[in-house]
Amino acid sequence: MRPARGVHRLRLPGGLGSQLADSYDLQGAGIRVHWGSAAHEAGFVVRQMDKGTDWNSLQASVSQNLALSTIGYPFVETDMIGGSLGQPAPTKDVLVRWAQSSSYMPLMYASTSPAGTTDVTTGQQVPYDDQTVALYREAIARHERLAPYIWDQVRRTLKTGDPIVRPLFFDFPQDRASYTIGDEWMLGPAVLAAPNLTASASRDIHLPAGTWYDVNRGRTVKGPVTLKSYATPLAVTPAFVNLRAQGATKALTALRRQ
């Protein structure tokens, strides 16, 4: 496949490629890198392939992040929030849920504006309401508050190779139920994210062994337990802090409701 006009492909040894990428990035414009084994060693962010704009694409963005991170590429994001701009515009709920999901990833990467966009398949303007903007902003603010905790995880992964986001079984290998759960994950050792990735108004949430703080309901929950039909109106992004895990204090500071 030929590169798009204006895009140049270079094949360089890892060291030279890192120097080139650093030089371009210092210009402030950034650079997209599709790399092989040197990507994680050089600290490059791994961007997923373009996604669609529906619920299935949102779910795929999460499962792919967990897979990539677990096999050694820790600096991941869920593709552009809302999916590719070359696809039909996402619905309000998909856009908001995507932003909420991304707020519990190492990075957030945006495309569709919550203030409104143009559907390229119809040429029509697609407006979003004030709630969309408010919930999108809330997701960004949450990620900003988590930044000190996430930065600790970055330093940890550079030392140990542990993924920053990972499936539940990575931290709880004795928990059999965790091996079949693909819509919850750990952000570092202290934060369990369980956002709603569907159009449903509720979801089941599995908590492994431990003492967990429910950041939405302000209560402590003992695991292992499965919380059945946990209510998830659009403004709610379920998340829990493992109170005995390393980093729990920073996570609580970031996530506890004021």
Q: What is the DSSP letter of 81?
A: B
Which of 183, 182, 194, 199 is CA-nearest to residue 90?
199
Encode pLDDT of 203-214 as tens digits.
999 999 999 999
Is 207 strand, coil or helix? strand
Mark residue 188 as left, alpha or beta (left: phi above 0; alpha: psi -120 to 50; beta: remaining): left
For tokens 């040429």, name the residue.
123
How far is residue 98's CA from residue 86's CA, in Å, rounded to a whole number? 17
Q: Using the predicted structure, report yes or no on whether residue 23 has a pLDDT greater than 80.
A: no
pLDDT level of residue 111 (50, 70, 90 thresholds): confident
- The phi, psi pair for 88, rounded to 5°, reads -55, 145
pLDDT of residue 34: 53
pLDDT single digits (tens) 120-177: 999 999 999 999 999 999 999 999 999 999 999 999 998 998 999 999 999 999 999 9
Q: How confident is the model at residue 36 (pLDDT cuts 50, 70, 90)?
A: low
Position 258 pLDDT exceeds 80: no
Q: Could you tell me the CA-to-CA distances from 180 to 62, 173, 245 in Å, in that order? A: 14, 12, 23
In the predicted model, is pLDDT for residue 4 greater than 50?
no
**pLDDT at residue 165, as a whole number:** 96
pLDDT digits (tens, 9 = 90+) for 40-80: 566 667 777 788 999 999 999 999 999 988 888 888 888 78
Q: What is the pLDDT of residue 72?
A: 84
3-state secondary structure of 202: strand
What is the share, in percent, of the chain residues with pLDDT greater than 90?
68
pLDDT, one tens digit per residue, over 214-228 is: 999 999 999 999 999
**Is residue 242 within 8 Å of residue 207, measured between CB atoms?**
no
Q: Which residue has the higher pLDDT, 22 or 235?
A: 235
Mean pLDDT computed over 173-195: 97
Taking each helix axis from N to C end, the angle separating 55-70 and 92-102, rounded to the nearest 10 degrees, works out to 10
| pLDDT-wise least confident of 30-34, 136-140, 206-210, 252-256 | 30-34
Residue 10 has pLDDT above 50, yes or no: no
Choice between 111 and 129, residue whose per-residue pLDDT is larger: 129
**How far is residue 243's CA from residue 22's CA, in Å, rounded to a whole number?**
39
Alpha helices per DSSP H over the chain: 14-25, 38-42, 55-70, 92-102, 130-160, 168-171, 248-255
Tell me how crowded residue 2 is: count the other CB atoms within 10 A of its CB. 6
Query: For the segment 231-250, what is each residue's pLDDT rounded down to a tens digit?
Result: 999 999 999 999 999 999 99
